Structure formats: structure tokens, C-alpha cells
Structure 1
């Protein structure tokens, strides 16, 4: 299964028994503790199970155990999500809509799973005054927001080796401070000195090799309206909408930058 969650990754998700238990409880929705212990004979399993209950992943009722979070098997068609004809979105800035969907999701608390039969894109964010967003299907993608999210969550093994060797565990705030300087110089067509920060931008195809110009979409942080009432759309449907937008773009991954217009004006 694939897990989608808001905020920091739940600590229990790192436990080797997490997926094993959720897979087991999906196949056998209501089981007793005795049945669980035959499958999970580990000494600390009951403590792990209690933590799963406390965090709302597992429900205990009438001495039986079952999963307590949604598991989806099928995506929702785009027309049902949008409540409008698909052609109306053709004229919209799809990257901007992706951003506004992400901003809506960031205001929510959620945890759900998707079966292996389907896939949905995930989103990642990193940066400072200039924020980097990536929307993609594979977490081991060569994208800076994914890299720094993996670092925050202690999942560096998912980082591409070339980025891990180049960036390592450099402080995230310091890294993007240096990146911001590079992007400012790129925008003004000034010479940029060699550094690991420049190499990282080239490696992740944020900058073009020869010209050092930005290759990905850059949009402002000011919201626009496309007639989509995103606040009223349930969380799972918003992820289905991201999937629809990625299909419209015909891409497996999308990285874009958000410039804070207020910060720009203050300078």
C-alpha cells in the first residue's frame, strides 16, 4: 500500500511491523489479540499495537481489532471531482492549480492509504523565501523538495546517490539561502561561481547547464481563481485532482518555484 499523510511522517510508519500489520488487518478486518500474536510473536508487539490504537491507526472494539483509517482502491474520475466540464480547465494555468490544490491540502490533517492497484501523486515542499514544490509518483525522484523531506524524516536511503554524495546532510535553511543567491544572479544574468549549490540546481534540472537560466515554472504566491471551490472538495478527491492535472501535463513529475510577492515588494 501507499500511505498519504499530513505533517511529519508518523514515527510508527518507520516500524517494520506497520505495513505487515496493516496488510494483515486489511485481509482479515476483525481479529482477536490471540490471532494477532500468532502472526506477530515479537516481545514488544502489544506495546506497538497499543501505540497504533492511541494514534488512531487501529480500532479495538469488543476485543477485536481492525484498521481505523481509509484505504482506497479506485481513483475518482476528474469530472466528478471538478463538478464541471474538463474543457474549462484547458485554459487554466495547470501549474497554478496544482499549487492551489497543495495549499488547500496543507491546511488539513489526514492519513489514508491507497492499494497497490492504483497510484496517486505525492507533493513535497522545501525552501525559504523562494519555495520549491514537487509533485510526483516516485519518492526516490531526483528533486530537491523530495531530498530534503527524506532528510527531515530520516529516510535518506530513498535519496538518489548522486544527490546524497553532492549535498549530504547540509543544513536545509543554509542550503536554500545559497540557492536564493544563485537564482537572483541567474535572473540578473550575472556570473555564478561553481559550488555544490549550483551543481545541485543543475543536477535536478532547475537551471539549464549552458545558460544557467531557470528551466522550471516560477509563479507568484498570490492566489488566483479558476472557479474551483477547493475547500469543499474532500482530501482524497484533491489527490485525484492532482493526478488528473499531472495527466493533463503528460508528466510523471513536476517541480515549480513559488516567489513570495510580498517579500519581493519589501526589497
Structure 2
């Protein structure tokens, strides 16, 4: 089962990371009626369990009424027909609109306009999802004031890009062996310094004025991550989104009849459907400020 919530919510992040979280959720979700503390303690005899349970209650993820406990967030599945009908209808409508645009525009809209709508980062919504497709789409960003490198990818398809690399370095460097060659190349390079050097290269390539006077780790890393190509000439391989460029309009259907959690679930699944329909399972682009 996967759990979805705002990446800004550090309380949820800490609770979900606790080894007790998933077993407690699975147990409570499988009970036909709310359970008493004595029953819970039989299943979870760990010393810290009661304290952890109090934290779940304080965070609003478990509800306690009349000395009985139950989950206070929904768990969705792929089998729920009502949601699937809404998701399929919304996804088809959006896919048809985006199919008329260039791939670059599709990437920008999926990564910017549609992402903002489907992944509200300030939302307090929390829900679980259990289905055949449990991969999690995430957006990573790295760069400086001039250029931001953006990657949209999944937990199962996590390509070696600049945005993903700096995300890995900050979070779980040992769990992504594909990034080791790039880590060996860059060493402990300072991120701000790195992107200041990369900015110069990108600017010169965009102006067709870049000349490779001598090899360096900045140029090599751009080639390694397929940000640029060196043959037959130096060219950017990623599309660039200018801040002043207006993204094409996309028409959304209001989901007023759904709860906040239901709307969040539908939006996320809709995003996945559209992404797969357009063949954009993993992609990157550059935002120029």
C-alpha cells in the first residue's frame, strides 16, 4: 500500500516512515468495527506502541471514540467503479486536448500546470492507495536562479538526471546504484557552485557559442545525464521553458461533488492515466528564469 500526502508535511512523513505505521494501518483497515486498546496491544506489544498510537491520533490519522480506535483517512483501490469512471472520463478529455500539442508543450503542461492541480503541495489531505499499480510519481528540481532542472519520474523508472541526482544525494545515496558513476565523477561538489558552472555552459550552447577548450566534470556530467549532446555539435537535448512563455490552456472539469480526499485521489490517478496515454512515463526539462 502507498500513502499520499503533501511532501511539506514533515509530521506525516515521520509517521509513515515508522516501522509500526503500515502494520497498524493494515490491521485497523481489516477490522469490521473499531477496536479497543486491549485488542490493539495484543497485536502490537511493542513498548512504544501506545505513544505511537497517540501520535497518530494527534496527527488526525486515527480516530478514538468511546475508547475504540479506527482509521480516520480513506484507503482507495482500483476496483472502486465510481471513481474509475470519473478518472477515465477526465483522463480521456485531457489526453485529447494535449495530443494536439507538441511533446515539449505536453511535458511543460504535465510538469507545471497539471502537476499544480493534481498534486497540491499545501494540502492537508492524507489517504492510502492499494492496487495493482502502486508506483509513485514524483517531481525533483535542482538548479540555481537562472536555470532549474526538472524531472518527472516514478519509483520504478528513476533515470539518471541532474534533478534526480541531487535528490538522491540529499536523501538515499546508497539505494540508487545507477547514480554511482555520476557520484564518482562529481565527488562532493557543492550544488550551488556546480549549477553556476553549468549555467555558463548552457548559456553558451543556447547562443551557439560554446567551445570545449578542455574536459571538465561539469561538461561530462551534462553529457552523462543526457542534458546535452557533444556530437556532431554541442546541443541541448532537453526542452527549455521560458518563464514569460504562457502555457497552453487546459480545460478541467470541476469535482465539486467529491470530498477533498476523493478529489485528491481522482486527480492523482487522472495524472497517471494522462501521462501513460501520452507515453511520458519519465521525462525532464529545463525552466529558464
Fold shared by both chains (TM-score > 0.5): yes
Unaligned runs of 5+ in 2: 257-262
Q: Tell me, what secondary structure is at the counterpart of 1:229?
A: coil
Structure number with higher relative contact order (C-alpha < 8 Å, ≥ 6 residues apart): 2
Shift of 1:168: 5.4
* Residue pair 2:160, 2:179 contacting (<8 A) in 1 also: no
Residue matched to 2:260: none
TM-score by length of 1: 0.79
In 2: Cα distance, 1:176 partner to 1:145 partner:
11
Higher Rg of the two aligned structures: 2
In 2: Cα distance, 1:186 partner to 1:199 partner:
14
C-alpha distance 180-63 of structure 1, shift in aligned 2 (>3 A): farther
C-alpha distance 231-127 of structure 1, shift in aligned 2 (>3 A): farther
The equivalent position to 1:108 in structure 2, one of 81, 106, 122, is: 122
Residue matched to 2:35: 31
In 1: Cα distance, 2:22 partner to 2:155 partner:
18
In 1: Cα distance, 2:188 partner to 2:73 partner:
34
User: What are the residue-to-residue correspondences of 1:105-144 with 2, within 5 Å?
Assistant: 105-106=119-120, 108-109=122-123, 110-119=125-134, 121-128=137-144, 129-138=146-155, 140-144=158-162
Q: Number of paired residues?
A: 259
User: What are the residue-to-residue correspondences of 1:1-267 with 2, within 5 Å?
Assistant: 1-8=1-8, 10-28=13-31, 30-74=34-78, 76=84, 78-81=87-90, 84=93, 86-92=95-101, 93-98=105-110, 99-104=112-117, 105-106=119-120, 108-109=122-123, 110-119=125-134, 121-128=137-144, 129-138=146-155, 140-152=158-170, 154-159=171-176, 160-162=178-180, 163-167=182-186, 170-189=189-208, 190-192=210-212, 193-210=214-231, 211-221=233-243, 222-229=245-252, 234-260=263-289
TM-score by length of 2: 0.74
In 1: Cα distance, 2:49 partner to 2:17 partner:
15
Compute the RMSD of aligned alpha carbons.
Answer: 3.1
Detail structure 1 runs of 4+ shifted over 6 Å in the superposition: 230-233
Unaligned runs of 5+ in 1: 261-267
